[in-house]
Amino acid sequence: MTASDPTASGYNFAYLDEQTKRMIRRGLLKAVAIPGYQVPFGGREMPMPYGWGTGGMQLTASVLGQDDVLKVIDQGADDTTNAVSIRAFFERVAGVTTTTATGEADVIQTRHRIPEQPLRQGQLLIFQVPIPEPLRFIEPSEEETRLMHALEEYGVMHVKLYEDIARHGHIATTYAYPVKVDGRYVTDPSPIPKFDNPKLHMNEALMLFGAGREKRLYAIPPYTRVESLDFEDHPFEVQEWDDPCAICGARDTFLDEVITDDRGGRMFVCSDTDYCQSRTEEVA
Amino acid sequence: MRWNAFDTPVHDSQRVYRQLLSAMAEPGTFAQVSGAPLAPPGAAIGTACWATLLTLCDLDTRVWVSPELNAAGLGEALTFHTGARQTDRPEEADFALVIPATLEGSAECEAPAFQEGSDTYPDRSTTLLVVLDCLDAAGPWTLSGPGIPGRRRLDVGQGGEALMMRLAANRARFPRGLDAILTCGTRLAAVPRSTRIIRSASEEVDVCMSP
């Protein structure tokens, strides 16, 4: 390995062996054909622990091509630990070009956010998913939840949201907010803030979800109906902030609260660093 | 005899797979499989179909080949390059290589009963790999559903009736069903089970709109 050729040798392209890629690829085709349904797959051990995005990485490794431009984000940011290490991983094992610009990427692997800039047709958005089963916290048995999905038995999900209302006066679920895909499967959108849920609906990009520890993958095809579960008298709502982004002034983005000192000082900034930066450059 | 395969299997199969993935994600759109190897001599399948087999099959998959397409060279080439096993039981096939007439059945034998999966595991189903004489937009079949903004039209040529009616029947059994990858020469498209299919009554509209 030299500085001019940082690609690691001794690995297959994009780390995974071809047999594994084919298994995941076949699974993804079924996932796309049955939107929102969780396809079991033979998850492989990746060179990082579960919980760091091994599911998303296996999907990325299976679909990535040598001409693709890859972007990796973690909570919207390109420069956080998880994003930096996964990006470096694919630079080394696949030798692909990487970018931080949402518009220039062909494949975007994401942890817990959907970029603010609307995605376009042909782009792939790959989510890292910790717990793919939206019914898991209500029903611990996999056999039972599988049957509930088969029978479209989703009443308990509404009971859970109702309990929120009974206890807090509103639906208190703020992330991993359950959705119904194409009017059939109740699906976990991964722990994205519910602010991002409306972006799932009729998105132009293909969205793939991979859970490494739970060994499940699923998909939401482009131009697909995705509804966030709610009630007529308690309709689904997204978060709002009183202040604009302290850096770029945006009022329509998801904001992170940043503590600035130990005397209660704080500021709100865009969680999508690329979007924030491009807005700042436009103004300048 | 020479059985052609990909020049660079890793990158070529990735490229074909992405075309398959887009086709499945956006039913009724077409991909042109370029630079793919020619199908084995004697096999009446196009390069898109052969490239799909090379991309998706391996020793974990069982392939059912319809009698009309079953050529000696095809089975041997498939085993040689992918290790896939051929099966004569349609219900245990992961992939079924068919022509539209295969799904028609006849008086003496019924149409093969491919695996539709179960309500709990709908993914354990057969994917049809259909070899067509004609694959085009602006045909009598109207597609809608996931992956389709509004509507798309599809033409699968003469005799495609049985195929499209079979795929249209998927809706009633959802999530069980058959997914289809349609190929014609170097062209491919897909119709997953999530697609709603209706035959348009207004075929003459297309005739008027064609130049």
The answer as to whether B205 is a domain residue is: no
The answer as to whether B207 is a domain residue is: no
Which residues of B fall within a CB distance of 8 Å from A64? Answer: 14
The answer as to whether A159 is a domain residue is: no
Active site annotation includes A36 = yes
Which residues of B fall within a CB distance of 8 Å from A35? Answer: 146, 194
The answer as to whether A6 is a domain residue is: no
A198 shares its domain with A269: no
pLDDT per residue, tens digit, chain A (284 aa), is 444 456 777 899 999 999 999 999 999 999 999 999 999 999 999 999 999 999 999 999 999 999 999 999 999 999 999 999 999 999 999 999 999 999 999 999 999 999 999 999 999 999 999 999 999 999 999 999 999 999 999 999 999 999 999 999 999 999 999 999 999 999 999 999 999 999 999 999 999 999 999 999 999 999 999 999 999 999 999 999 999 999 999 999 999 999 999 999 999 999 999 999 999 998 77
Mean pLDDT of B144-150: 97
Mean pLDDT across chain A: 95
**Which three-class secondary structure string do you get for chain A?**
CCCCCCCCCCCECCECCHHHHHHHHHHHHHHHHCCCCCEECCCCCCCCCCCCCHHHHHHHHHHCCCCCEEEEEECCECCCHHHHHHHHHHHHHHCCEECCCHHHCCEEEEECCCCCCCCCCCCEEEEECCCCCCCCCCCCCHHHHHHHHHCCCCHHHHHHHHHHHHHHCCCCCCECCCEEECCCEEECCCCCEHHHHHHHCCCCCEEEEEECCCCEEEEECCCCCEEECCCCCCCCCCCCCCCCCCCCCCCCCCEEEEECCCCCCEEEEECCHHHHHHHHHHHC
Note the pLDDT tens digit of each residue in B26-71.
999 999 999 889 999 888 999 999 999 999 999 999 999 999 998 8
A52 shares its domain with A104: yes
- Are residues A219 and B20, on separate chains, in Cβ contact within 8 Å? no
Question: What are the C-alpha distances in Å from B190 to residues A50, B33, B93?
Answer: 34, 13, 18
**ipTM of the prediction:** 0.95
Q: Binning pLDDT at 50, 70 and 90, where does residue B211 land?
A: very low
Domain that holds residue B181: 9-197
- How many Å lie between the alpha carbon of A224 and the closest alpha carbon of chain B? 5
The answer as to whether B202 is a domain residue is: no
C-alpha to C-alpha distance for B77 and B209, rounded to whole angstroms: 44
The answer as to whether A96 is a domain residue is: yes
Give residue A5's pLDDT: 56
C-alpha to C-alpha distance for A262 and B88, rounded to whole angstroms: 73
A190 shares its domain with A50: yes
A188 shares its domain with A247: no
Mean pLDDT across chain B: 92
Note the pLDDT tens digit of each residue in B105-129.
777 778 899 999 999 999 999 999 9
Nearest partner of A192 among A206, A205, A180, A209, judged by Cα: A209
- Are residues A147 and B120, on separate chains, in Cβ contact within 8 Å? yes
Contact indicator for B115, B126 with CB cutoff of 8 Å: yes
Give residue B73's pLDDT: 87
The answer as to whether A11 is a domain residue is: no
Active site annotation includes A51 = no
A257 shares its domain with A212: no
A194 shares its domain with A249: no
A42 shares its domain with A110: yes
Minimum-distance CB partner of A63 among B21, B60, B123: B21
A279 shares its domain with A180: no
Intra-chain end-to-end CA distance of chain A, in Å? 40
The answer as to whether A5 is a domain residue is: no
A118 shares its domain with A245: no
Residue B48's contacts (CB-CB under 8 Å, 6 or more residues apart) are B31, B33, B36, B183, B184, B185, B186, B187, B188
Quote the number of domains for chain A. Answer: 2
Note the pLDDT tens digit of each residue in B168-179.
999 999 999 999
Q: Is the pLDDT of residue B161 over 50?
A: yes
Give residue B109's pLDDT: 76
Give residue B110's pLDDT: 83
Minimum-distance CB partner of B10 among A12, A26, A151: A12
The answer as to whether B209 is a domain residue is: no
The answer as to whether A59 is a domain residue is: yes
Percent of chain B with pLDDT over 70: 94
- How many Å lie between the alpha carbon of A190 and the closest alpha carbon of chain B? 20
Question: Which residues in B have their CB inside 8 Å of a CB on A?
Answer: 9-11, 13-15, 17-18, 20-22, 24-26, 55-61, 94, 118-123, 125, 127, 145-149, 174-175, 177, 179, 192-194
Contact indicator for A220, A184 with CB cutoff of 8 Å: no
Give residue A3's pLDDT: 46
A244 shares its domain with A207: no
Domain termination residue (choose one: A226, A249, A268): A226
The answer as to whether A154 is a domain residue is: no
Domain that holds residue A216: 16-135+174-226
Q: Binning pLDDT at 50, 70 and 90, where does residue B97 land?
A: very high
What CATH number does residue B105 fall under? Answer: 3.40.50.11310
Which residue's structure tokens are 């040529």?
B157
The answer as to whether B203 is a domain residue is: no
Quote the number of domains for chain B. Answer: 1
Question: Which residues in A have their CB inside 8 Å of a CB on B?
Answer: 12-13, 18-19, 21-23, 25-35, 37, 39-40, 63-66, 121-122, 146-147, 149-151, 182, 184-185, 202, 206, 219, 221-225
